Structure 1
Amino acid sequence: MTDPSSTPSPEISAYQLGESVGYLLSRVKSTMSNLVTQRSMAELGITSQQGSILFMVASGKCLLAAELAREYGIDASAVTRLVDRLEKRGLLTRVRSNEDRRVVRLALTPEGHAIAAKMPAIFNGVLDNLLGGFTPEEVGFLKSMLRRVLINSGEQTGLTRDAASNFDSKS
């Protein structure tokens, strides 16, 4: 066990957490998620993750639990629990594929669609608040840089390096 009164090692003391891009990205993600949850709980009675999942299914981007797991970087059992909760609330259903009985697609109920349709306004409201004071050019540049980070990570964004650097502020 480490003595709590001991001083940190020189490596730890020298590392400036507030200057770490990873730390800052993590804090921004956490802050956005918390703010979206505050609004979505108050307005819709769901968490940001639940609302985001409903939106992803409604948009057609993620129609399988495995796609949600990849998109959110969480394990399949966590997705199963999230889908179970949403299904229990009557917001989505599991539909077995007619072509391949092993495939189970996710489909929104009318109430799930109604909630998913309200999520963009919540997402945009939170981002408008967080990006207050940024010019449209700065927002475009931030998005371009984030797309390049995803490309560098090997994420499948549908963008090439050249396309990511050519986006204007309205993208």
Structure 2
Amino acid sequence: MTDPTPTPLSEVVEYDFGESVGYLISRVKSTMSNLINQRTVAELGVTVQQASVLFMVASGKCVLAAELAREYGIDASAVTRLVDRLEKRGLLKRVRSSEDRRAVRLALTTEGQSIAARMPAIFTGIAATLLNGLSPEEVGFLKSMLRRVLANGCEASQNTNQNPGQNAPTNS
């Protein structure tokens, strides 16, 4: 019997993904999400995604399912399932808009508001843990750089939508 493990591709082996900006950002996001999830599950009985949705609705940033889908970059059916679970748990409810009967707004129940109100302390605590040892100036600089990266991503997305196939991926 032959070894099922193929020989690694030289292009892959030579690429130092540990130094890749994309890999590092992804790992930070994953680490942050995992730490927040541990706290939200233990302290609030909800997942990080559920807690985040409650927080976004409470903040007024996302009061429609479509806004949640755009914010999180997930499809409408995934948002529907998430909202269904939160509604079933009595944390959120759907409310038909009085101005536009087609629009269904999301509203938190009292328990959902209570969970959302506890999220800033959890976010702040996890961020403090992850940013330990960085000066306030370094944290400000990091935020500034991340905002620029996000702005570049939005611009690239708009350019890609206007000119499909024109933006080649970079090796970063």
Give the TM-score band, short-chain normalised: 0.7 to 0.9
In the TM superposition, residue 9 of structure 1 has moved relative to its aligned partner by 1.5
Computed over aligned residues only, the root mean square deviation of the Cα atoms, in angstroms, reads: 1.3
Aligned length in residues: 154
Q: Deviations over 1:32-54 (max 9, x none)?
A: 11100000111000011111100
List runs of 5+ in structure 1 lacking aligned partners. Answer: 156-171
Q: Which residue of 2 aligns with 1:24?
A: 24
Superposition TM-score, scaled by structure 1 size: 0.87
Q: Deviations over 1:54-92 (max 9, x none)?
A: 000000000000000000000000000100000001101
Once superposed, which parts of structure 1, at least 4 consecutive aligned residues long, lie more than 3 Å away? 3-6
Q: Which residue of 2 aligns with 1:152?
A: 152
Superposition TM-score, scaled by structure 2 size: 0.86
What are the within-5 Å matches in structure 2 for residues 77-96 of structure 1? 77-96=77-96
Matched residue of 2:106: which SS? strand
Q: Which residue of 2 aligns with 1:69?
A: 69
Matched residue of 1:132: which SS? coil
Q: Which residue of 1 aligns with 2:7?
A: 7
In the TM superposition, residue 8 of structure 1 has moved relative to its aligned partner by 1.2
Q: Which residue of 1 aligns with 2:139?
A: 139
Q: Matches of 1:10 and 1:33 in 2, distance apart? A: 33
**Percentage of pairs with the same residue:** 76
List runs of 5+ in structure 2 lacking aligned partners. Answer: 156-172
Matched residue of 1:154: which SS? helix
Letter in 2 for 1:51: A
Q: Which residue of 1 aligns with 2:99?
A: 99
In the TM superposition, residue 4 of structure 1 has moved relative to its aligned partner by 3.8
Q: Matches of 2:105 and 2:6 in 1, distance apart? A: 54
Matched residue of 1:6: which SS? coil
